[in-house]
């Protein structure tokens, strides 16, 4: 396995910067279908200034994540053509695309991508988008899906990932017409997903993933499992802490009972 990487020692909160990560967007994802969020008694946080596109690209300096324009992603996905549509979740629709010379002249390595478009009317928002960009932009591991880039232009928020040819594990397990996966492949997928989680928990700056479920385990052409969707992820406990207190977030039926009951997350009980 390649060497797992975290690209800097800066704390997660510093990377999120400008207070935008604890902004009033903070609890929106709890409203989405199937998502859970505790009622909580905390007063709403005052609105914080949004990180500007320039500040974000500064935060990501040193990573290889690309900033795209909406126009470039239109070219990559043939204007978000329905023939490129691969599915839709709580964040918004996802399209297959290709990032090559037509999109970005001079780009050396053309590649297939999945472009996820924030549904402006949907249950998730800027906060989830930013969490995804900051976490996946900084973390590299063979069992985490690679974030190729993002688009932060006016109200538009898009994410560009490596394309995972075999889609989600959920599809393979639960779709009627999918051929059943051999047990050896299932074991390899389970071990791969566990390695992805272990990497997050053992990192110098630990990350609590909070949305571990089969639809977020993606499979590449040889069934290598990679974790996706870091919109609900949270910076884990610091060196002297055993847990972090948090609103309960995740998907109904998947969050650990101890976490739902106590609203405190540790790396061992809140995947
Ligand atoms: N990198 C990718 N490569 C290929 N397909 C992808 C990729 N990312 C997402 N998809 C597909 O796009 C669809 C929507 O995925 P998305 O992650 O937005 O929602 P979800 O995981 O189904 O639901 P939720 O909002 O609860 O996470 C799924 O079919 C998923 O397999
Ligand atoms: Mg998902």
**Domains and their CATH numbers in the chain:** 50-163 (3.30.200.20), 164-271 (1.10.510.10)
Q: Which of 54, 64, 79, 211 is catalytic?
A: 211
**Which of the ligands is closest to the CA of residue 97?**
1
Ligand whose nearest atom lies closest to the CA of 113: 1
Pocket residues for ligand 1 (CB within 6 Å)? 86-91, 94, 114, 116, 145, 161, 163-164, 167-168, 215-216, 218, 228-229, 251
Atom in ligand 1 nearest the alpha carbon of residue 251: 26
Q: Measured in angstroms, how far is the CA atom of residue 231 from the centroid of ligand 2?
A: 9
Nearby residues of 217 by Cβ (< 8 Å), 6 or more positions away: 168, 169, 170, 189, 193, 225, 226, 227, 228
Active-site residue, 79 included: no
Q: Which of 228, 230, 231, 232 to mutate to test the pocket of ligand 1 (most atoms within 8 A of CB)?
A: 228
Query: Which of 126, 123, 147 has the alpha carbon at shortest distance from 18?
Result: 126
pLDDT digit string (tens) for the chain, length 271 residues: 445 565 555 677 766 654 444 433 333 344 444 555 554 445 555 555 678 898 888 888 888 899 999 999 999 999 999 999 999 988 899 999 999 999 988 888 899 999 999 998 877 888 889 989 998 998 999 999 999 999 999 999 999 999 999 999 999 998 877 778 999 999 999 999 999 999 999 888 888 888 889 999 999 999 999 999 888 777 766 666 666 656 556 665 666 666 666 666 665 655 6
- Hey, is 146 helix, strand or coil? coil
């Amino acid at each position: 396995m390649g060497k797992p990487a975290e690209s800097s020692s800066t704390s997660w909160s510093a990377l999120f910067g400008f207070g935008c990560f604890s902004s009033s967007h903070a609890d929106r994802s709890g409203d989405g279908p199937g998502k859970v969020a505790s009622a909580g008694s905390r007063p709403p946080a005052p609105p914080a200034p949004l990180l500007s596109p320039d500040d974000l690209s500064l935060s990501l300096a040193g990573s290889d994540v690309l900033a795209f324009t909406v126009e470039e992603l239109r070219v990559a996905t043939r204007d978000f053509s329905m023939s490129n549509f691969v599915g839709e979740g709580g964040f918004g629709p996802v399209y297959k695309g290709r990032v090559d010379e037509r999109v970005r002249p001079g780009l050396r390595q053309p590649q297939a991508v999945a472009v996820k478009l924030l549904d402006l009317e949907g249950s998730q928002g800027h906060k989830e988008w930013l969490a995804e960009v900051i976490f996946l932009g900084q973390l590299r591991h063979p069992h985490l899906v690679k974030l190729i880039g993002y688009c932060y232009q006016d109200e538009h928020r898009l994410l560009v990932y490596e394309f995972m040819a075999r889609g989600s594990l959920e599809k393979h397990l639960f779709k009627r017409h999918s051929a059943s996966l051999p047990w050896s492949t299932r074991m390899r997928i389970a071990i791969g997903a566990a390695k992805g989680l272990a990497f997050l928990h053992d990192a110098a700056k630990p990350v609590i993933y909070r949305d571990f479920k089969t639809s977020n385990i993606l499979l590449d052409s040889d069934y290598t499992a990679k974790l996706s969707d870091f919109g609900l992820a949270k910076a884990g406990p610091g060196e002297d802490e055993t847990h972090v207190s948090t609103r309960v977030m995740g998907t109904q039926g998947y969050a650990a009972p101890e976490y739902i009951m106590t609203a405190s997350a540790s790396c061992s009980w809140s995947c």
